[in-house]
Structure 1
Protein backbone atom coordinates (compact mmCIF):
# COMPACT_ATOMS: atom_id res chain seq x y z
CA UNK A 1 0.00 0.00 0.00
CA UNK A 2 1.30 3.47 -0.88
CA UNK A 3 2.52 5.58 2.03
CA UNK A 4 2.53 9.38 2.23
CA UNK A 5 4.80 11.70 4.17
CA UNK A 6 4.44 15.41 4.77
CA UNK A 7 7.30 17.44 6.16
CA UNK A 8 6.96 21.03 7.32
CA UNK A 9 10.12 23.01 8.07
CA UNK A 10 9.22 26.13 10.10
CA UNK A 11 11.22 29.05 8.72
CA UNK A 12 12.47 26.87 5.85
CA UNK A 13 13.40 28.50 2.56
CA UNK A 14 13.64 27.57 -1.12
CA UNK A 15 17.42 27.76 -0.90
CA UNK A 16 17.51 25.32 2.03
CA UNK A 17 15.19 22.99 0.15
CA UNK A 18 17.34 23.08 -3.00
CA UNK A 19 20.47 22.23 -1.01
CA UNK A 20 18.71 19.44 0.88
CA UNK A 21 17.05 17.79 -2.12
CA UNK A 22 20.34 17.84 -4.05
CA UNK A 23 21.96 15.93 -1.18
CA UNK A 24 19.31 13.23 -0.68
CA UNK A 25 17.76 12.58 -4.11
CA UNK A 26 19.57 10.93 -7.04
CA UNK A 27 21.08 13.04 -9.83
CA UNK A 28 21.52 16.03 -7.53
CA UNK A 29 17.81 16.20 -6.78
CA UNK A 30 16.64 15.76 -10.37
CA UNK A 31 15.09 12.31 -9.95
CA UNK A 32 13.19 10.30 -7.36
CA UNK A 33 14.79 7.82 -4.98
CA UNK A 34 14.01 4.13 -5.39
CA UNK A 35 10.45 3.43 -4.23
CA UNK A 36 9.26 7.04 -4.27
CA UNK A 37 6.30 7.65 -6.58
CA UNK A 38 5.63 11.35 -6.10
CA UNK A 39 7.30 14.46 -4.68
CA UNK A 40 6.11 18.05 -4.41
CA UNK A 41 7.47 20.95 -2.40
CA UNK A 42 6.85 24.63 -1.95
CA UNK A 43 6.51 27.59 0.37
CA UNK A 44 3.78 27.44 2.98
CA UNK A 45 2.71 29.69 5.84
CA UNK A 46 5.86 30.42 7.82
CA UNK A 47 8.11 27.85 6.19
CA UNK A 48 8.53 25.14 3.57
CA UNK A 49 6.44 22.01 2.98
CA UNK A 50 7.26 18.74 1.24
CA UNK A 51 4.87 15.93 0.32
CA UNK A 52 6.19 12.56 -0.83
CA UNK A 53 4.44 9.31 -1.67
CA UNK A 54 6.34 6.03 -1.51
CA UNK A 55 5.19 2.69 -2.85
CA UNK A 56 5.08 1.34 0.73
CA UNK A 57 5.85 2.18 4.34
CA UNK A 58 8.89 -0.10 4.04
CA UNK A 59 10.15 1.90 1.05
CA UNK A 60 9.79 5.14 3.03
CA UNK A 61 11.55 3.71 6.08
CA UNK A 62 14.44 2.45 3.96
CA UNK A 63 14.91 5.88 2.33
CA UNK A 64 14.53 7.65 5.67
CA UNK A 65 16.92 5.37 7.58
CA UNK A 66 19.55 4.80 4.88
CA UNK A 67 19.69 8.18 3.15
CA UNK A 68 17.64 11.04 4.59
CA UNK A 69 18.40 10.87 8.31
CA UNK A 70 22.13 10.12 8.00
CA UNK A 71 22.51 13.14 5.69
CA UNK A 72 20.46 15.39 7.97
CA UNK A 73 22.31 14.25 11.11
CA UNK A 74 25.70 15.07 9.62
CA UNK A 75 24.36 18.36 8.27
CA UNK A 76 23.68 19.42 4.72
CA UNK A 77 25.59 22.54 3.72
CA UNK A 78 22.99 25.25 3.13
CA UNK A 79 20.17 22.81 3.96
CA UNK A 80 17.46 22.79 6.60
CA UNK A 81 18.90 23.34 10.07
CA UNK A 82 16.28 21.53 12.16
CA UNK A 83 14.16 18.40 11.82
CA UNK A 84 10.75 18.79 10.18
CA UNK A 85 7.32 18.42 11.67
CA UNK A 86 6.22 15.11 10.15
CA UNK A 87 2.85 13.58 9.35
CA UNK A 88 2.52 10.15 7.73
CA UNK A 89 -0.41 8.07 6.54
CA UNK A 90 -1.34 5.06 4.45
CA UNK A 91 -2.73 6.25 1.14
CA UNK A 92 -6.36 5.37 0.51
CA UNK A 93 -6.56 6.84 -3.00
CA UNK A 94 -3.67 7.58 -5.36
CA UNK A 95 -4.60 8.86 -8.80
CA UNK A 96 -2.04 9.25 -11.55
Structure 2
Protein backbone atom coordinates (compact mmCIF):
# COMPACT_ATOMS: atom_id res chain seq x y z
CA UNK A 1 0.00 0.00 0.00
CA UNK A 2 1.42 3.40 -0.91
CA UNK A 3 2.56 5.75 1.85
CA UNK A 4 -0.10 8.35 1.04
CA UNK A 5 -2.83 5.76 1.66
CA UNK A 6 -1.38 4.90 5.08
CA UNK A 7 -1.21 8.60 5.91
CA UNK A 8 -4.87 9.11 5.04
CA UNK A 9 -5.88 6.04 7.06
CA UNK A 10 -3.92 7.16 10.12
CA UNK A 11 -5.22 10.73 9.82
CA UNK A 12 -8.77 9.37 9.76
CA UNK A 13 -8.18 7.15 12.79
CA UNK A 14 -6.65 10.05 14.70
CA UNK A 15 -9.53 12.40 13.91
CA UNK A 16 -12.38 9.93 14.45
CA UNK A 17 -14.42 9.78 17.64
CA UNK A 18 -14.19 6.23 19.02
CA UNK A 19 -17.59 4.51 18.87
CA UNK A 20 -17.44 3.83 22.61
CA UNK A 21 -17.22 7.57 23.27
CA UNK A 22 -20.09 8.42 20.95
CA UNK A 23 -22.27 5.61 22.32
CA UNK A 24 -22.85 3.98 18.95
CA UNK A 25 -22.07 0.34 19.80
CA UNK A 26 -25.31 -1.06 21.13
CA UNK A 27 -25.10 -4.65 19.93
CA UNK A 28 -23.82 -7.46 22.14
CA UNK A 29 -20.09 -7.59 21.51
CA UNK A 30 -17.41 -10.24 21.99
CA UNK A 31 -13.97 -8.72 22.62
CA UNK A 32 -11.06 -11.11 22.04
CA UNK A 33 -7.72 -10.36 23.70
CA UNK A 34 -4.44 -12.23 23.99
CA UNK A 35 -2.92 -12.16 27.48
CA UNK A 36 0.52 -11.51 25.95
CA UNK A 37 -0.63 -8.65 23.70
CA UNK A 38 2.23 -6.17 23.56
CA UNK A 39 0.22 -3.61 21.59
CA UNK A 40 -3.02 -3.15 23.55
CA UNK A 41 -2.97 -3.52 27.34
CA UNK A 42 -5.67 -5.42 29.21
CA UNK A 43 -6.88 -2.31 31.01
CA UNK A 44 -7.89 -0.88 27.63
CA UNK A 45 -9.84 -4.02 26.79
CA UNK A 46 -11.58 -3.96 30.16
CA UNK A 47 -12.48 -0.28 29.67
CA UNK A 48 -13.81 -1.07 26.20
CA UNK A 49 -15.95 -3.92 27.54
CA UNK A 50 -17.30 -1.68 30.29
CA UNK A 51 -18.42 0.94 27.74
CA UNK A 52 -20.33 -1.46 25.49
CA UNK A 53 -23.62 -2.76 26.90
CA UNK A 54 -23.68 -6.56 26.77
CA UNK A 55 -19.99 -6.89 25.93
CA UNK A 56 -18.01 -9.97 26.90
CA UNK A 57 -14.21 -10.00 27.16
CA UNK A 58 -12.53 -13.31 26.31
CA UNK A 59 -8.86 -13.54 27.33
CA UNK A 60 -6.61 -16.14 25.69
CA UNK A 61 -3.64 -17.11 27.91
CA UNK A 62 -0.32 -17.42 26.10
CA UNK A 63 -1.59 -15.54 23.04
CA UNK A 64 -0.32 -12.22 21.69
CA UNK A 65 -1.91 -9.45 19.63
CA UNK A 66 -2.95 -11.60 16.64
CA UNK A 67 -5.58 -13.71 18.37
CA UNK A 68 -7.33 -14.72 15.14
CA UNK A 69 -4.10 -16.05 13.66
CA UNK A 70 -2.65 -17.57 16.82
CA UNK A 71 -5.66 -19.63 17.93
CA UNK A 72 -8.28 -19.67 15.14
CA UNK A 73 -10.01 -22.85 16.35
CA UNK A 74 -10.56 -21.44 19.84
CA UNK A 75 -11.77 -18.12 18.41
CA UNK A 76 -14.24 -19.92 16.14
CA UNK A 77 -15.59 -22.01 19.02
CA UNK A 78 -15.89 -18.97 21.29
CA UNK A 79 -17.59 -16.91 18.58
CA UNK A 80 -20.12 -19.68 17.95
CA UNK A 81 -20.79 -20.03 21.69
CA UNK A 82 -21.23 -16.26 22.05
CA UNK A 83 -23.61 -16.05 19.09
CA UNK A 84 -25.59 -19.04 20.36
CA UNK A 85 -25.95 -17.34 23.75
CA UNK A 86 -27.79 -14.37 22.23
CA UNK A 87 -31.56 -14.30 22.25
TM-score of the pair, normalised by structure 2: 0.31
Higher strand share: 1
Which structure ranks higher in relative contact order (CA pairs < 8 Å, sequence separation ≥ 6)? 1
Q: Which has the larger radius of gyration?
A: 2
TM-score of the pair, normalised by structure 1: 0.29
Higher helix share: 2
